Amino acid sequence: MKWKVALFCVFVLVVGTTGQVFVGAQGDDTPVPSTSDDLVKVDLLFVGAHPDDDSITTATFARYIMDEGKKAGVITATRGEGGGNATGRQLGPSLGIVREAEQRQALGRLGISHLYYLNELDWAFTTSATATEEFWGYEEPLANLVRLIRVLKPDIVVTMNPSSAGGHGHHQYAAKLATEAFWLAGDPNAYPEQLEEEFIDPWQPLKLYYGMGYGGAGLQVSLEVPTNEYSPRTYMTYADLEASALLFYRSQGFDNSYTVPAPTRRLSPETFALGASLLPVSENETSMFAGIDYGVGTAPPMVQLEVLPQDFFISQGGQTSVDVVFRNYSDTDLSDVTLSLSAPEGWDVTGDSVASPVAVGEETTATFTLNVPEDADVADIQQIVGHFESVDANGDSRSASKPGFVWATPPLSVQLQPVQAVEIFRDWVVRVGMEHLYTLESTLVAVGENATTNVPVILTNRSSEDIEATVNLSVASADITVDPASQTVTVPAGEEMTVDFAVTVPADQAQLESEITLTGTYGDTELSEVGMLQVVPATTATRVASAPTIDGDLSEYSGMETLAIPFDNIWEGETTDAADLTGSFSLAYDDEFLYVAVTVEDETIVSNIAPNDIKGHWRSDSVEITVDPQGPGVSEHTLTTFKTGIFPFDTEGNVQAERDADANQGLISVTAPDMQFASSRTDNGYVLEVAIPWNAVPGEVSSGDTIGFNILLYDCDKADAAVGENCNEARTAWSAWGQIQGNPRVWGHLTLGE
């Protein structure tokens, strides 16, 4: 009679406190064996650099967790111990404890309990992933990230922009590590000791997204997730859910801007670029779980489709093989599976695919030959498309597509010599097989006013014959000249050569950004590249025989050149008029010091930094001075520079200084004890006089040298700012570009007069 018990078994619904519905069989007292996956497996995983970086995905994760029942995890490289602190004086590891507590509260608000740290150091703001790597290393954080992905087993990994458009160098490097770990976690040959000694298995996530909230220039939006819609479970907008979580990041001042209900500016969609996918791809994604929870096209969910060209760069007239791989990880057997490959018009694809059954858990591959025409377009990356057709058990057609990418190259290529950061990024995308990101980093050239700068052009001959080419360089701004504008050269077979063009910027040229166009012509072929030329200010420091007294009296600088920092030389924030924030400065030097005399017009002077809290000069009224002794544009990051932030007045009225984001951070009394500084109030602001000792500046400088230099003004107009509060609202500079404080390439040019 046991069959009767089974037949009439009654199922009961048990509703938990979270609203989840549990199904159980009455009278079945046999526990279901549990595995570690029941505890730790997640569907979504965000990888960032600091607590609060997850803010670029908060509304999206809220949607998937609250209303679609997904589990999410967050991995953060640091604990944010190098950031600001609006709630106390803690710094370093102590601040890291505070920020970890904030992050756990914020994520807990969304139901995220899986939070892990890579235990790396949040050392300062930088725009360089390379500098970040110097502090964090490579193998250890990458191995730790691979381990976490293998244990947490996410289907989707979301991270930040790996290019310089991602801004903060910590963000860039965290995204680079996440990208590499995305692929390495599924490779049994990567970190095999984890498999052998820790008894974990490879795990390959299915999709990788780059969140664009902290900078997405160059990335193509593939998914927009609305934040102004209401969560049916909570009856709050996803923007409100986001704000209710992010306001816990109070040490960073998030509680001032993330309020409930969310203001209109917070109701914009969160945007993501699809970096990699093992699944078919739809032209207009509406969910990260496309291809996972439901199929793309008419394909069943969880089928995989990959387009794998043997070569990304293919010469005109050349060919390469392309594998189209289909894996059936769906829940249904498929028959008559055929694979195909399409290419741009004029390109030729040869090869065939024999229809075959592919049962659940099996795969099939077809190899095609891609032939590139002699006149193929070489200006842009080209898209090739893999496609599968099949029939399911019901006789219904099942199909979907997936793009791949290749780039046709000419026998002779011409390019503006990329700056070091661009070259590093391009080398990385090739090394990790993410070549379709190659163009995220465009070529940038910085030149100083009233100066002539050589702009190198690289010519590479990949053919077996010498090639004669004519190379032209032009600048959109009519005031900037190129001499000669055209050169004809012969590039030997199989060799690379460099041709220099002299670009001259007139005196008093305003800071500007202008297109610089390179064209190369040989035979019937014309090539071109467009980069950006950035003009930065330039000046000369007077050599003095008698050192000025550092006392806040600037009369000793009378007769020297005075350079202006207008109120509209904004690189971040907003100013209202000249009375709000205007600066000027003069420079001198001798064998011992660089002397800087700064005058600031500021109608509201705020002195809310205590004498025992001299750090984070950007929090209040302050002046930052930066020196790159390596030369203009030489340093790829600030670790080879000198950077000091000076508070003209602390809460007791005394001038205070620190070093920030260079290789020797901390109080000036410790990091540059020979530095001298003084300040005094004026009727409409204050003056600051500084003597920077050359012995504190890394590298050697001599009379006649030209170095990188900048002065940046930080302004807070909140007269009642709390002690220690981050009230900065405007940032101007002599050379004013976005994130200029961390980018020596576009600091001004300073020549030490002889």
Across the chain, which has 754 residues, the per-10-residue mean pLDDT values are 31 34 56 88 97 95 96 97 85 92 96 96 91 95 98 98 87 97 98 97 98 84 94 94 94 87 86 96 92 95 97 94 97 96 96 94 97 92 96 95 95 90 92 91 86 92 93 95 95 95 92 93 90 94 95 94 96 95 97 98 95 92 97 91 97 96 95 97 97 96 96 96 90 94 94 92
Compute the distance between CA of residue 513 and CA of residue 261 in angstroms, rounded to an integer: 40
Residue with tokens 């409930």: 260
Residues 158 and 144 in one domain: yes
Q: Which of 364, 394, 409 is a domain's end point?
A: 409
pLDDT of residue 135: 93
Residues 85 and 227 in one domain: yes
Q: Give CA separation, 147 vs 3, 41, 194, in Å.
A: 47, 13, 7
Amino acid at 277: S
CB of 721 closer than 8 Å to CB of 606? yes
Residues 69 and 165 in one domain: yes
Q: Does residue 224 belong to any structural domain of this protein?
A: yes
Residues 545 and 399 in one domain: no
Q: What SS3 class is residue 657?
A: strand
Residues 308 and 234 in one domain: no
DSSP conformation class of 97: H
Residues 571 and 517 in one domain: no
Domain containing residue 234: CATH number: 3.40.50.10320
pLDDT of residue 619: 92
Residues 220 and 358 in one domain: no
Residue with tokens 């055929």: 338
Q: Does residue 156 belong to any structural domain of this protein?
A: yes
Compute the distance between CA of residue 406 and CA of residue 343 in angstroms, rounded to an integer: 10
Collect all residues with Cβ–Cβ distance below 8 Å to 574 and sequence separation of at least 6: 729, 730
Residues 459 and 404 in one domain: no
Q: Does residue 601 belong to any structural domain of this protein?
A: yes
Question: Would strands 685-693 and 593-601 be described as parallel, antiparallel, or unpaired?
Answer: antiparallel
Compute the distance between CA of residue 377 and CA of residue 730 in angstroms, rounded to an integer: 46
Q: Does residue 12 belong to any structural domain of this protein?
A: no
pLDDT of residue 567: 96
The number of residues in the chain equals: 754
Compute the distance between CA of residue 274 and CA of residue 212 in angstroms, rounded to an integer: 11
Range of the domain at 259: 37-277
Residues 630 and 707 in one domain: yes
Q: Does residue 32 belong to any structural domain of this protein?
A: no
Residues 404 and 421 in one domain: no
Residues 548 and 613 in one domain: yes
Cα dihedral 553, 556, 560, 561 in deg (nearest 10): -10
Cα dihedral 209, 213, 219, 223 in deg (nearest 10): 50
Q: Which of 383, 409, 435 is a domain's end point?
A: 409
Domain containing residue 545: CATH number: 2.60.40.1190
Question: Would strands 496-505 and 451-461 be described as parallel, antiparallel, or unpaired?
Answer: antiparallel
The pTM of the full predicted model, rounded to 2 decimals, is 0.90
CB of 115 closer than 8 Å to CB of 103? yes
Collect all residues with Cβ–Cβ distance below 8 Å to 217 and sequence separation of at least 6: 163, 165, 440
Domain containing residue 493: CATH number: 2.60.40.10
Domain tally for the chain? 4
Residue 285: left if φ>0, alpha if ψ -120 to 50, beta else—which one?
Answer: beta
Q: Does residue 1 belong to any structural domain of this protein?
A: no
Residues 566 and 531 in one domain: no
Q: Is the peptide bond before 261 cis (omega within 30 degrees of 0)?
A: yes
pLDDT of residue 317: 92
Q: Does residue 693 belong to any structural domain of this protein?
A: yes
Compute the distance between CA of residue 728 and CA of residue 621 in angstroms, rounded to an integer: 7
Burial 45-63 (b: 16+ CB within 10 A, else e): bbbbbbbbbbbbbbbbbbb
pLDDT of residue 26: 52
Q: Which of 496, 520, 536 is a domain's end point?
A: 536
Residue 711: left if φ>0, alpha if ψ -120 to 50, beta else—which one?
Answer: beta
pLDDT of residue 27: 59
pLDDT of residue 418: 87
Q: Does residue 647 belong to any structural domain of this protein?
A: yes
